[in-house]
Amino acid sequence: MRLRILLVLCATVLVLAACGKKTEAFQNTDVTGLAYGRDFSLHDHNGKLRTLADFRGKAVVVFFGFTQCPDVCPTTMLEMANVMKALGPDADRVQVLFITLDPERDTQQLLAQYVPAFDKRFLGLRGSLDETDKVAKEFKVFYEKVPGKTPGSYTIDHMAGSYVFDPQGRIRLFIRHAQGVEPIAHDLKILLAEES
């Protein structure tokens, strides 16, 4: 009888200890369960058709921008390159995708030069104007062409954040622009640890 009581008490203590275990919190916005940003079908800068499923097993960071962007896009890409350095060997389990909002000027060749210049593992994705609009709507990405002095000198106003998917392909985080390397690396490590 005493042994049975002792076993019940030990089991109760273990259950309570497990309940009190803290999980590490994300430093970025947790968007787990969002009903949008589910997928895309675009060609990468090597000409290969890509979908989100191609990157299962990796954490995926998706950023929308354009190569002639003067500030937000290059700073985001540089920040992500520094995140990859901070992750060390775990960086090989992360895929950064740059989806162009300017397929008229951002050719496959231009993306092939621009995107890997930040990190050779990064991929640029593009589609037709209609495909770009469809993907932007799926991800709730605002963008608008702003005319310049000449027809080819336009710019694009666009959302400046990134989405992060876990290795199972589920949308998990929204990363605000220009917050620094550490919060992003911190959250990617949590997502990668969930997979282990």
Handedness of CA 57, 62, 68, 70 (dihedral sign): negative
Residues with Cβ < 8 Å from 130, sequence gap 6 or more? none
Query: Cα–Cα distance between 89 and 109 in angstroms, integer?
Result: 29
Distance between start and end Cα atoms, the chain: 41
Is 27 strand, coil or helix? coil
Query: Cα–Cα distance between 60 and 165 in angstroms, integer?
Result: 5
* Residue 73 among known ligand-binding residues: yes
Three-class DSSP labels, 80-100: HHHHHHHHHHHHHHEEEEEEE
* Residue 10 among known ligand-binding residues: no
Handedness of CA 50, 52, 56, 61 (dihedral sign): positive
| Annotated binding-site positions for Cu cation | 69, 73, 158
| Annotated binding-site positions | 69, 73, 158
